[in-house]
Amino acid sequence: MSKINVFLDDVRSAPDDYVLASDMEECIKLLRENTIQHLSLDHDLENKLRNGFMVVEYMVKHKLFAETITVHSANAGAGKKMFHYLKDAQESLIIPQNVRIHYHPLPLNLNKRKKHP
């Protein structure tokens, strides 16, 4: 099975060579069905009840991880919460030590989104 890169965001365009997941369900499905090399996560999605933090909780609960996880949310408080939750899970040995976890906020780019197959 080949590795893919996944970009979870409902506003920004996915970088080249990334599969765009625009909601939680799509991202979780990709995590369950693929080997993910890099997963980049936004927090603010469809609404306050469905967000990137919920994806992070699901990942930790079900032990579904990418080789590298980046939180790119421009929502500073929520993005840091996601990052610290992942780092705490790694310190508790739930997330393997070889998984790289980063916090790198991206500005909102409201250009037309593109979806990759």
Residue 81 belongs to domain with CATH number: 3.40.50.2300
Is residue 66 scored above 70 in pLDDT?
yes
- Residue 1: band (very low, low, confident or very high) from pLDDT cuts 50, 70, 90: low
Asked if residue 59 is part of any domain, the answer here is: yes
Q: How far apart are CA 92 and CA 50, in angstroms?
A: 26
Q: What is the pTM of this model?
A: 0.88
Q: Taking residues 61-78, what's their average pLDDT? A: 96
Axis crossing angle, helix 52-62 with helix 76-91, rounded to the nearest 10: 10
Asked if residue 85 is part of any domain, the answer here is: yes
Asked if residue 51 is part of any domain, the answer here is: yes
Q: 75 is written with which tokens? A: 């929502």
Asked if residue 108 is part of any domain, the answer here is: no
Based on its alpha-carbon atoms, the radius of gyration of the chain, rounded to whole angstroms, reads 13
Question: In the predicted model, what is the mean pLDDT of the chain?
Answer: 90
CB burial of residue 105 (10 Å; 0-12, 13-18, 19+): middle
Q: Give the model confidence (pLDDT) of 32-60 as tens digits.
A: 999 999 999 999 987 677 899 999 999 99
